[in-house]
Structure 1
Amino acid sequence: MDRGDIALALALLVGVALTGQVAGLVRSAGFSAASGLVWPIGYGSIVLAAWYVWIRPIDLRAPTPGDADPWGADSEESPEADR
């Protein structure tokens, strides 16, 4: 388990647990209507943070002809080279 896995697990645990705790506190304070807003705001912020930290940095574009080979050089000859 590396640091990224631990950070992901901790972020999800804190996000889910904290959202539930805040919703319970708001409901126990007598604001049951506001408690219904805590859930989408809490989970929406978890999704937004996960997107920003883990998904946004991924490079999903197609490579251009000048880019380096992302897979590295092949050590085996291709079958077309034997023909």
Structure 2
Amino acid sequence: MNNQDAVVLALTVVAAIILPGLANWGFSTLGYPWVGSAVWALGYGLGVVFIWYEWVRPLDITGPEGVSRSEDSGE
């Protein structure tokens, strides 16, 4: 992992986990717990989508070529 990857990972953690949590705490202490929960859910959800889009989606998760499973193999 190079320095740029580490910075991107740190910023992603801050944006997806820490900021929504702090916003939830802030709105809850101001007397708006539902707004805080909505901001937390939206921020956390968008963070999960971002992580999937940037890191998981580009992965080539396939089995080896040339290996097939016949339907009458008895398994």
With normalisation by structure 1, the TM-score equals: 0.60
Deviation at 1:13, TM superposition (A): 2.2
Q: Quote the residue 2:53 is aligned against.
A: 52
Within a 5 Å distance, the mapping from 1:9-20 to structure 2 comes to: 9-20=10-21
Aligned CA-pair RMSD: 2.0
Letter in 2 for 1:49: F
Deviation at 1:7, TM superposition (A): 0.8
Q: Spell out structure 1 runs of 4+ moving beyond 4 A.
A: none
Q: Quote the residue 2:72 is aligned against.
A: none
Q: Greater relative contact order: 1 or 2 (C-alpha under 8 angstroms, separation 6 or more)?
A: 2
Counting matched residue pairs gives 65
Question: Percent identity of the aligned residues?
Answer: 31
Q: Quote the residue 1:61 is aligned against.
A: 62
The alignment partner of 1:58 has SS state of coil
Gap regions ≥5 residues in structure 2: 67-75
Distance in 2 between the 1:62 and 1:16 partners?
33
Within a 5 Å distance, the mapping from 1:1-83 to structure 2 comes to: 1-2=1-2, 3-62=4-63, 64=65
Distance in 2 between the 1:8 and 1:20 partners?
18
Distance in 2 between the 1:17 and 1:51 partners?
18
Q: If you compute each CA radius of gyration, which structure gives the higher value, 1 or 2?
A: 1
Q: Quote the residue 1:75 is aligned against.
A: none
Deviation at 1:63, TM superposition (A): 5.2
